[in-house]
Each structure stands twice: as structure tokens, then as C-alpha cells.
Structure 1
Amino acid sequence: MREHHAPALENLFLHGHRRLFEDFQSYSCPSNISRNDTEDILCMEREEFLKNFKNPCWFKVINTTMGLKRVLRCFPFFHIFGVCKSGTTDLFFRLTQHPQILNNTGILNKETQFWSWKRFGQDSLGHRKLTLEEFSSFFRASEIGKTKIDLQGRMHYSDLITGHADPMDFWDHNHWREIPQNDPNSSEPKFLTPHFVRHVQPNIKLILLLREPAERLYSHYLHGYYGHTPEDFHSSVLKGIELFNTCLTNCSLKTCLYKSDLSKDMKLPLSASLYYIHLLEWLDVFPREQFLVLRTEDYHKDMKYSLFRLFSFLGVGDVYSDVMERTIKLPHKYVTKIKLEQGPMLIETWNILTEFFKEPNRKLAAILNDERYLWKDATFKFRAKQLPKTKQKRHQHLQH
């Protein structure tokens, strides 16, 4: 017996019935793709999803040595699209403890890295550009395809869903000049990741996990090996803010965010913590009701409540209390070890960053109509450095 209460069958049959936003930018097909070989997704026909599957799936007809064959393919039902170093790995891991929610075959069973990186050849084997067809292969179609029969015995259906957590998709648009519909000589892009996601899946559920921006930036900095110590971070912050402010004296905010040479010179993922400007890009394309936005701090403070909110948002059944208790007691899925070893950022850096992010946070709170996103409850947290385990053993041996 599965440990969940199945949702009503009518909740499964939503594909194709939602109001779609009108295109905000005009473009023609076929586009001018001769300048690069990036797949022209905006000019591809949208798949028609099966009405008796909760997850967006379809049958693709392929040629085999035995003749034509129908193969089930699936896209994700939901996308945790941000933000890096905010707890997305842990959140995805706990969500997939629900018996209706499947993980995928990507990195850590959650990341496909398709939309921001691998379709442009970044971080893919041999720098080969992945296709949308290959993106669909990450999702467990064979498992989703194991249908059930409703109580009246009239219909086969599947109530399983899958998703992915690619937190770079929220903010990393470094390859925007390779998009066929963008002018590579322009200072700003017209089309970004949300346009392509919506073209493929207009009804996808979008989950955004936001952490206090200074702490998030510090974790991202160490995790990405931009530098190695709190002192490195302090120097990078001073230089990064100076470069960013200098850019703003001559260019628009959007131009500065998408200038590849600026991000290389900065050596600091500062723009990833400017949440409001990236969220506006996504809200220009998707309606607000398709988003669920959470603070990392609230997720950790009351994990049970957060998960129940997410299960409701995804339209999956409730889980029994013992399943929920097991889920929230699981160990944290991913920890930035170098941050534990180096300890917190310098108090001087904290003061500079909290002042720098004050206005961006105010704009974010206004967009979300929620003052929690001012992070007034965030304070500098002193934590003693932790020696790596090998050094701990040597230190203990020297003491004896």
C-alpha cells in the first residue's frame, strides 16, 4: 500500500487548459541560425501532452529495425530554478521522498544543467550542445508510464510526477548571445531562459528558494573557488562592487548584469544575489500563480510546514505523519565543506554587503509583497573554523 492519499482524478487533466501569456517579443521562424548551431527551441512545435498523465508526457514515434515504435517521453512537472547555494539540493531530495515524486537521472539525481549550460555546450562532454530531445531523456518516462486504473475501471492514468533542480537557471544567462533570436551585437538580450521554458512547458510549476543574499554570495564564492578565504572574499567584494557601480554610471542595470567581460573581471557571482531583477525576467513570462517562493531560513526553521506547502502547490497527495517525520529527520543533503573550514566572512564584509543589498531587497519585498524578504531577521553569525578531518586527527594526535 502506498503511503499517500491519491488526488482527485480531475486534477490530473490540466494539460492544454491553462491560459497562456501572449508572446512579449515578436520573432519569425525559421530564425537566422546560421551563425551558430544552438538548437532553435522557440521555432520548434510544442508537444501535445497526454491528458491521462499528471506529468507532461507524450508518445514519440521512432523508426526501429522492427518498424515504427511508440516511445514515451517526458518533461519535468516542476522546476526548482534558483538559487545556487540556497539549499536546492536538500529541498529536492526531501521532495522526492514523496511516493508520487520521482527524481531524475542527472547530477545528484536532480540537475540536468540543460537550460543555462549544456544546450550551449558548457560543461558537457566534448563541449557538445545537448538537444531538447536529450533533455527529455533525464526524466523517468518508464516509471511514470506505469499506469493505474481508476475505481470505475474506465481509464488508465498516471499520477506520478518528476522535476529538476537547476538553480543556475534563475540568474546565469552568460550564453544569451548564442540564442538565435538575440542580436549578438546588442548590449542586452531580448530572450532568456524563461522564454524557452515557457515555449516548451507553459504550465510548469516553478519553485524558487531564496537565501539571505550576503550569506548566499559567500557560500557561492567559496563553493565556486572564486577565492579561498574570508580575506579573499572581502577583497573580491570591494572590487566587485566598485566595478559594478562604475558600470552603472555608463550603462543600464540590465546591460551590466549581462556583460560577460564584467562578470569575468569581477570574479564574484554578485549578480546571482540581485534577486529582484532576475525574478522580474521570469514574471514577465509566467503568471505569478505558477511560482512558489520560499526563504531558505523559513524552510530550515519549519521544514514540515514548507514541505506541506510544496506538496499542495504540486497537487500531490498528503503523506502520513510517519513518512513526514522520516523525511524531515534525514541528514542535510549537501554542505559546503570549505565554508565550514574557513568560518564566516569578516564582519566588515558583512556590513558592506548588507548595506549594498538593502535596496535590491526592498525591491524584491515589494514585488513579492512580503517584508520577510528584507531579511531584517538576519544577523552576522560568528562560527569557529572547523579543521578538515585529516587535520583534526593530526591535531588530536599531537595533543596526546
Structure 2
Amino acid sequence: MLPDFIIIGAMKSGTSSLFHYLQLHPEVGMSAIKEVDFFIAENNYGKGVDWYRSQFTGNFSKYGEASPNYSKAHYFAGVPQRMHDLLPDVKLIYLVRDPIERIISHYTHNYSEGREHRTIEEALETLSDNHYVMCSKYFWQLNHFMEYYQGAQILVMPSRELKYERHSALQRVFAFVGVDEMFYDPAYEEQKHQSSQKRRKGRLSRLVLESPLIKTLKYYIPDAIKDPIKKATRPEITKPTLRPELRDKLREYLQPDVEKLQAFTGYSFSSWDI
């Protein structure tokens, strides 16, 4: 099997939650692992199409995957073209959130994983070509896909709708994908992957969670098992705040991209601090 739809991002915008909710739909078969990253040359593209097909099993009407790295064109080049070469008719779902809040969440995630050692002020000292900032330039990222896919193949959804208007948001997603939009599961009442309190990886956490066995199996281990391990082995950290001057600088830098996204989607994004 090959996917009928792909959640392309954005990172830290609710992709894990949407992946989980779609898994519950009886007509939808999601990939064996969430972040397949097949169309990224540096990751799994070299494994070949047969490997990619093997990620989709079972008897379902529609199949899908979610790889937020696909919408990091500044970092992973050529994704839309590779995708279109294999899947010219695939549908794309792009979740977006307040760009500045996404940047803070992205930084906090990297810091908690031990991949970021700078303060957030240091990490955002230069905005041009900044990895955190580029991931929040949603229209710029989306424009790379629009070179190959028609607008009717793309669904842009504010992650705020998935959080606060979940039923109607999921109905839109189901209708877009082409499955029963009225399907409901009681688990849809649950908020998945809440991240208000992060924990930083320490030596003990790395020994446990980065052992060869766990790294191999991490995508298959339920959160109910992983989360208590993280809680027991990682110290809590506090989400950073931005100086008003830096926040203003980010607003000014991101505003043109937000305006283009508004024009493309028809959304006002009035809740965003831009």
C-alpha cells in the first residue's frame, strides 16, 4: 500500500495528536511508525519504495502518515518533488499554530532533548535562515509543495481548532481524506501530547531511553510506558519567555509570511500574536 494522505507538519503543531485521532477511525490505516521520513534523502529515501509500502498494512479505505520533517525545506531539500514523483494524487494536511509560540515550543523541545544548550535569546540572535524561525514560515514552506500540488490537494488547519473545536475539525479532516466524517470515538475527548511541563534529558535518561534496544523500539512503545520513564529520569524545566524586544522583532519578521498564508487559506489567524 501507499498513502492517500500525508500530514506534512508543522513540527510542534499537533501532528502527533492528529495522527492518534486518525488511528482511531476504522476506515483509516496510519503508518506503523509516525515519522516515516521516507521522502527525505538524508533519512529513509534510500530504503526504497518497497520499504515505504511495508509501513502501511491492514485492510483500510485510506492510508496515511505524518512526518513533520517534510515541511523543513530549508533543512531537507527536494521533498515535494520526490513525493510528487511517487504520489502525484496524494492529499496533504498542514497544521499551523501561532508562529512565535511554535518557535518557543520547538526550542523547549530541543532543550529538553539535550540538543540545544543555548538560551532562547542566543538561539534567536539572528532570524534570517534560523532553523526555529524557518519552521514557522508556514507559507514559505507550503509554497514548495504548491509547485507540485494543486490547492485542492492541500488542507491547512490551525491546530487551535483541533484543540478547542475538535469534533468539527476532525469532521473536516475526515471529509478531506475521504472517510466517514461523522465517525466518533470517546477517545476524541482526550487531549493527546500535552506539553505544558517539559523535562530535560540527563545522564540517567540517556542511559535508559537511548539504549540501542529502546532507540530501535521507541516508535512502537506506547506513551503509557514511555511517559513514566521520562518523568522518573528527567528533571523538570520551565518554558522560556521572550523579551518584548525580541518578540516584536519576530512579529515584524514573520508578518509578511503570515499575510501570504492568510490570503491563501482565508483564515484571519486572529488569535496569533502577530
TM-score interval for Structure 1 and Structure 2 normalised by the shorter chain: 0.7 to 0.9
Q: 2:6 is aligned with what amino acid?
A: H
- The C-alpha deviation readout for 1:261-299, integer Å capped at 9, x for no partner, is xxxxx5x42211111111111111101101111011122
Gaps of 5+ in 1: 1-73, 145-158, 177-191, 245-256, 258-265, 381-400
Change beyond 3 A, Cα 1:369–1:318: closer
- Determine if the alignment matches structure 1 residue 134 to structure 2 residue 51: yes
| Matching residue of 1:285 | 148
Closer, same or farther in 2 for the Cα pair 1:75/1:336, shift >3 Å?
A: farther
Contact 1:211 1:297 in 2 (8 A): yes
Q: Superposed, which structure 2 residues align to 1:312-331 within 5 Å?
A: 312-320=175-183, 323-324=184-185, 326-331=186-191
Residue of structure 1 in register with 2:241 after alignment: 345
Q: Aligned equivalents of 1:133 and 1:336: distance in 2?
A: 39
Change (3 A) 1:283 1:134: same
Correspondence 1:115 to 2:2:
no
Question: Displacement of 1:352 after TM fit?
Answer: 2.8
Equivalent residue number for residue 62 of structure 2: 161
Aligned to 2:32: 105
CA-CA distance at 1:207 after TM superposition: 0.4
Question: Match for 2:255 among 341, 345, 358?
Answer: 358
Residues of 1 paired with 2:194 and 2:26: CA distance?
A: 22
Distance 1:276 1:111, change over 3 A: same
1:170 is matched with which residue? 71
Letter in 2 for 1:164: E
Is the 1:76–1:164 Cα contact (8 Å) retained in structure 2?
yes
In the alignment, what sits opposite 2:215? none
Tell me how far apart the structure 2 counterparts of residues 224 and 342 of structure 1 sit (CA, whole Å): 13
Listed one character per residue, the Cα deviations across residues 30-54 of structure 1 (whole Å, up to 9, x for unaligned) are xxxxxxxxxxxxxxxxxxxxxxxxx
Cα offset, 1:83, TM superposition: 0.6
- Picking from 195, 203, 207, the partner of 2:93 is 207
Q: Which residue of 2 aligns with 1:275?
A: 138
1:80 matched to 2:3? The reply is: no
Contact 1:90-1:334 within 8 A present in 2 as well:
no
What is the CA distance between 1:221 and its match in structure 2? 1.5
CA distance in 1, matches of 2:70, 2:196: 20
* Counterpart contact for 2:73–2:144, Cα < 8 Å: no
What is the rounded CA distance, in whole Å, between the counterparts of 2:8 and 2:196 in structure 1? 20
Query: TM-score, normalized by length of structure 1?
Result: 0.54
Determine which of 126, 136, 153 is the counterpart of 1:240: 126
Give the superposition deviation at 1:334: 5.3
On the 8 A contact 1:219/1:336 being kept in 2, the answer is: no
Letter in 2 for 1:370: Y
Q: 1:280 & 1:379 partners in 2: Cα distance?
A: 23
Q: In 1, are the aligned partners of 2:198 and 2:238 still within 8 Å (CA)? A: yes
Question: Would you say how many aligned residue pairs link Structure 1 and Structure 2?
Answer: 234
**One-letter identity of the residue aligned with 1:343:** K
Q: Which runs of 4+ in 1 moved over 6 A?
A: none
Paired AA for residue 216 in structure 1: R
**Normalising to structure 2: TM-score of the pair?**
0.77
Aligned partner of 1:193 in structure 2 is: 79
Which deviates further from its counterpart, 78-87 or 215-224?
Answer: 215-224
Q: 1:347 to 1:378 in 2, by over 3 A?
A: farther
Task: Give, in whole Å, the separation in 1 of the partners of 2:190 and 2:267.
Answer: 30
- Segment drifting more, 166-175 vs 270-279: 166-175
Distance 1:379 1:362 in 2: 13
Does structure 1 conserve the Cα–Cα contact (< 8 Å) formed by 2:96 and 2:156?
yes
Change (3 A) 1:338 1:318: closer
CA distance in 1, matches of 2:256, 2:73: 21
Q: In structure 1, what is the Cα distance between the partners aligned to 2:194 and 2:46? A: 28
Shift in Å at residue 338 of structure 1? Answer: 2.5
Secondary structure, aligned partner of 1:357: helix
Distance in 2 of aligned mates of 1:134 and 1:196 = 15
What is the identity, as a one-letter code, of the residue corresponding to 1:210? V
> Whose relative contact order is higher, 1 or 2, with alpha carbons under 8 Å and at least 6 apart?
2
Q: 1:215 to 1:100 in 2, by over 3 A?
A: same
